[in-house]
């Protein structure tokens, strides 16, 4: 009897009306979500990672602009105080180009020499503090002041035979 009622023209009209509304709702919801996702993605598109060599090359152009830089931290990382703030000082490299970094904030859990990191910050035309402690410093009177750090891990799972991302060995 219930099925019979569902077959009547009136019920069919209701079904059509309801399914049309639901489809539109689902479509709008999906569209809004995809637009939000695209907006977030495109909004960050300018923050792609400059390798250290490119960041050094575009230093004047990038000055006072926040940018992301990717490179491999070198041995000789140390902590120090700068204007009452605890900072991490180290040298980053890509290929044979090096740049000094002064990072404020907690480093990533896997932060270590040889593990590439993506940092976000600005160029500063001043020597980093205690530059003489850095083993690979270019000593060029510049450093990158950063406050955000994420790790770009490699795809090597061969334990002992894994190749190390190290500029000094290149």
Partner 1 sequence: MTSSITTASKGSKILGMTSIVGFAVLVLLAFFATDPDIRFHPETGEEFGQFDAVRLLYLHVPLIIVTYLAFVICAIASAGYLVKLTFWWDSMAHAAGEVGTLTCALVLITGSIWGRPVWNTWWEWGDVRVMSTLILFLLFLGYLALRGAFVSPQRAARPAAIVALIAVLDIPLINRSVEWWENRTLHQKSTLSELKIEDLTLFTLMLGILVSLLVMSWLILHRFRVAWLEHVEFEQGIKTAIEERRQMDNED
Q: Long-range contacts of range 41-44, CB-CB < 8 Å, 24 or more positions apart?
A: none
Closest separation in Å from C-beta 90 to partner 1: 12
Closest separation in Å from C-beta 84 to partner 1: 25
Angle ∠(8,12,14) on CA atoms, nearest 5: 120
Subset of residues 60 to 79 that bind partner 1, contact rule: CB under 8 A: 70, 75
Interaction mask 25-54, partner 1, x per CB under 8 A: xxx-xx--xx--xx-xx-xxx-xxxxx---
Subset of residues 80 to 139 that bind partner 1, contact rule: CB under 8 A: 108-115, 118
Say how many C-beta atoms besides its own lie within 10 A of residue 128's C-beta.
25
With contact defined as beta carbons under 8 Å apart, do 104 and 146 qualify? Answer: yes
Contact pick of 9, 52, 101, 157 for partner 1 (by CB under 8 A): 157
With contact defined as beta carbons under 8 Å apart, do 74 and 167 qualify? Answer: yes
With contact defined as beta carbons under 8 Å apart, do 96 and 138 qualify? Answer: no
Closest separation in Å from C-beta 141 to partner 1: 26
Instruction: List beta partners, residue 89.
Output: 78, 102
Binding site for partner 1 (CB under 8 A): 1, 3-4, 6-7, 15, 18-19, 22-23, 25-27, 29-30, 33-34, 37-38, 40-41, 43-45, 47-51, 70, 75, 108-115, 118, 149-162, 164, 166, 168-169
């Amino acid at each position: 009897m219930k099925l019979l009622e569902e077959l009547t023209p009136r019920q069919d009209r209701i079904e059509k009306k309801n399914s049309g509304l639901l489809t539109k709702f689902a479509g709008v919801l999906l569209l809004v979500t995809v637009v939000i996702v695209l907006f977030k993605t495109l909004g960050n598109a300018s923050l792609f990672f400059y390798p250290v060599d490119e960041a050094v090359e575009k230093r004047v152009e990038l000055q006072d602009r926040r940018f992301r830089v990717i490179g491999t931290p070198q041995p000789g990382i140390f902590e120090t105080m700068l204007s009452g703030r605890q900072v991490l000082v180290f040298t980053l490299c890509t290929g044979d180009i090096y740049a000094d970094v002064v990072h404020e904030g907690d480093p990533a859990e896997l932060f270590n020499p040889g593990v590439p990191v993506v940092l976000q910050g600005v160029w500063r035309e001043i020597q980093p503090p205690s530059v003489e402690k850095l083993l690979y410093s270019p000593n060029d009177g510049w450093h990158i002041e950063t406050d955000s750090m994420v790790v770009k891990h490699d795809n090597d799972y061969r334990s002992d035979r894994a190749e190390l991302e190290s500029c000094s060995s290149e």
